[in-house]
Structure 1
Amino acid sequence: MKRSPLDAVHRELGAKMVPFGGWEMPLEYTGTIDEHLVCRNGSVVFDVSHLGTMRVSGPQAFDALQAALSNDLGKVAPGKAQYTHLLDDADGSVLDDIIVWWHPDDEQTFDVMPNASNTERVVDAIGGIDVTETRAVLAVQGPEANQRVADIWPEAGAVGRFRVIRCDWNGTSCLVAGTGYTGEPGLEIAVPVDAAADLWRAITDAGVRPAGLGARDTLRLEAGLPLHGNELGPGITPLQAGLGWVVGWDKPTFRGKQALEQERERGVSRALVGISTEGRRPPRAASAVLVGDDVVGAVTSGNYSPVLEHGVAMAYVRPDLAVDSEVEIDVRGKRLAGRVVDMPFVR
């Protein structure tokens, strides 16, 4: 089990630690609902050092990533970040969803950030150097996030949405990106290991609350953001997930392109939707979605929404099931009344 460079800090704060993707990471400090609401109304900081970082550089780096990943890097430029997928070449399903940070000071260098459990798979596909253990990654999120960071580090706090900048924290060079996974404004900071604890403490001393992976999951669910292993994974394509915009259709080639083009022509067999349920009882993953007595799909993620104060779920269902359709979710033999809704659940 790997540990974050901030492991000692989390334990000092009394965090509840859990295994996640081969790492031991903080689940919560004061409670998932409390941390969730602080992020929606103020600002929190997550340790997301478990995410991988593959550094791909050199004169062939751009072409290698273009051929391997689904999105079109030609749409962005140095100093930008892009969301993309690594697809299975046979069926176009999502092997991993990834953020690429294009270094602002070197047009031939990219940091490719896969999910923790998929790092080896991504290295095999794109090459590069695994620099995960050289840095920590702090995600500061919430409507007050940028201002709180700007109070102690003005250059970092000013980073724009999906921009990537390099700036120094107390003489240590860091990469800062205007990215996140909560549906809120914010930024993510890749900081060398030796400076990580000092930066974490400076951010929390500025009034930003620590938050764990429990709140990170409920926040991304309210925001309608997919999670690999739930909404994305083997047999699930970007088109089924409603993520056709992640596909660079005009690129001459990329892994999985032919399979996706065939699916686009024939139509998807299922579609990802949001379902709002009545009451506080949460829908759960793998629960059947029913219309009458007919099973029309299955929940991939479900939980109680702290903001809406009722259950929400993401589910794959028949593609003809329209918004406002009434459904039920079978949770351990008890049916929850629900309705298909647009996502995100919370804007």
Structure 2
Amino acid sequence: MKKTPLYQKHLDYGGRVVDFSGWALPVQYSGIVEEHKAVREAAGLFDVSHMGEISVAGPGAADLVYYLVVNDTSRMQPGKVMYTPMCYESGGVVDDILVYMKAPDDWLLAVNAANTDKDYEWILEQASGKNVTVRNLSDETAQVALQGPKAEAIMSRLTKAPVQQLVFYTFMDAVDLEVGRALVSRTGYTGEDGFEIYMPTDIAPQLWDRIMEAGKEEGLIPAGLGARDTLRFEACLPLYGHELEKDITPLEAGLKFTVKLDKTDFIGKKALAKQKEEGLKRKIVGLEMLDKGVPRHGYEVYAGEQAVGTVTSGSFAPTLDAYLALALVEAGYTGLGTELEIDIRGRKKAARVVKTPFYTPRYKR
């Protein structure tokens, strides 16, 4: 297994390390529910150094990024961040990524860990002859996520830079954090306010210690992948390989707001325009369990004897004290209040279509 620069810190803090897509990462420290609640009520610190970072730079960089993604990056300015899927010609998703505009000729793409090599090869392929330089910076970049309502107070103790002025989906580069400089981004994957910090790998252990020390009085605790998943799940933030993949389009995943069909061109435009015109045959919905049972990824969803969908994510939701699921379901069964059943280990358990997101995110706008 690959180790992040913070591997020893996870051991020092009592993290239970597991194999996550080939990375040795903590699933939990004190416990998933405790860590989940800390992020909702105070703050949690996550090691997300397994995530990938790809630089796209040069005279043709802006045009290439515009063509690669479904969202409209031509509206961006330096210091802005944009969330967007990156699609195949079929409309299926290569990955969902964050796009950072540093300058018109300098862009950073933050990609999902398991997709880093695939994304890099895909971007290189599209970059051929476009007057750009594409570099995979993942091995030289560490990343931590400081998340929760107390994140701003903690972040403000770490630097003299006016990070409190950052609003959701903006960033500052080369922020002086005493142990070194880092890119500080007001983004996250928890449904709470917070920051994601990109830094050279060699300063990551010292910065982790500094953040933990600065957050002591605010109730900051280290948090693992288990809580990261339950937090993103409550906020209905998609996870690649679950709500998004090569066979699921952004429209089916409920990400219509990212798909700008009025763009001049982008990979997958024709297929997505056709899908929108013809109407969705299936889409992601939220389900609440009416019977006892834990819905899990891959479980089938039924309307009577007919299989009408599949669970993409399912879990106990600590904030809501309920067992919930996201599922890809045939369009005729997606209305709010529709009663369905989920096959849980050979037994059909009742569930009902409910509004999403389950938890309303609290971002700084």
Q: TM-score scaled to structure 2, two decimals?
A: 0.91
- 2:179 and 2:206 in contact (8 A); partners too: no
Could you give the per-residue CA deviations for residues 123-178 of structure 1, whole angstroms, max 9, x where no partner exists? 12223111112121010111111112213335335422100102111162210111
Q: Distance in 1 between matches of 2:108 and 2:47?
A: 18
Aligned AA for 1:33? V
CA distance in 2 between partners of 1:35 and 1:171 (Å): 27
Separation of aligned partners in 2, 1:15 and 1:335: 36
Which residue number corresponds to residue 142 of structure 2? 136
1:329 correspondence with 2:342? yes
Counterpart code for 2:167 = G
Contact 2:182 2:198 in 1 (8 A): yes
The two structures have a TM-score, normalised by structure 1, of 0.95
Q: Please tell me whether the aligned partners of residues 179 and 207 of structure 2 are also in contact (alpha carbons under 8 angstroms).
A: no
Within the candidate set 191, 207, 211, 1:183 is matched to 191
In 1, the alpha carbon distance for the partners of 2:222 and 2:211 equals 9
8 Å CA contact 1:45, 1:140 repeated in 2? yes
Supply the distance in 2 between the matched residues of 1:13 and 1:158 (Cα, whole angstroms).
32
1:109 correspondence with 2:106: yes
Task: Tell me, yes or no, if the aligned pair for 2:291 and 2:351 is still in contact at 8 Å.
Answer: no
Query: How has the CA–CA distance of structure 1 residues 7 and 171 changed in structure 2, closer, same or farther, with 3 Å as cutoff?
Result: closer
Aligned counterpart, 2:94: 95
Q: In the superposition, relative to structure 1, how do residues 157 and 46 fare at CA in structure 2: closer, same or farther (>3 Å)?
A: farther
Matched, 1:86 2:94: no
Residue 222 of structure 1 corresponds to which residue in structure 2?
Answer: 234
- For residues 228-287 of structure 1, give each alpha carbon's deviation from its aligned partner in whole angstroms, at most 9, with x where no partner exists: 001100210011111111112122211111111111111111010000113663211111
The 10-residue stretch of structure 1 (66-75 or 118-127) with the greater mean CA deviation from structure 2: 118-127
Return closer, same or farther for 1:123/1:74 CA change in 2, 3 Å cut-off.
same
Q: How far has the Cα of 1:8 moved from its partner?
A: 1.0
Instruction: Tell me the distance in 2 between the aligned counterparts of 1:247 and 1:319.
Output: 20
Provide structure 1 residue ranges, at least 5 long, that are not aligned to the other structure.
Answer: none
Structure 2 portions without partners, runs of 5+: 125-133, 361-365
RMSD: 1.4
1:58 aligned residue: 58
In the alignment, residue 164 of structure 1 is paired with which amino acid? F
The answer to whether 1:248 aligns with 2:260 is: yes
Identity %: 39
Q: Helix, strand or coil: the match of 2:34?
A: helix
Q: 1:171 to 1:142 in 2, by over 3 A?
A: closer
Using the TM superposition, give the Cα deviation of residue 51 of structure 1 relative to its aligned residue in structure 2, in angstroms: 0.6
Matches within 5 A, 1:134-283: 134-155=140-161, 156-166=163-173, 167-170=175-178, 172-205=180-213, 206-207=215-216, 208-278=220-290, 281-283=293-295
- The ranges of structure 1 where at least 4 consecutive aligned residues each deviate by more than 3 angstroms after the TM superposition are 278-281
Q: How many residue pairs are counted as aligned between the two chains?
A: 344
Q: Distance in 2 between matches of 1:279 and 1:212?
A: 29
CA distance in 2, matches of 1:111, 1:22: 24
Conserved 8 A contact 1:54-1:113: yes
CA distance in 2, matches of 1:223, 1:272: 14
* Preserved contact between residue 146 and residue 158 of structure 1 (Cα < 8 Å): no
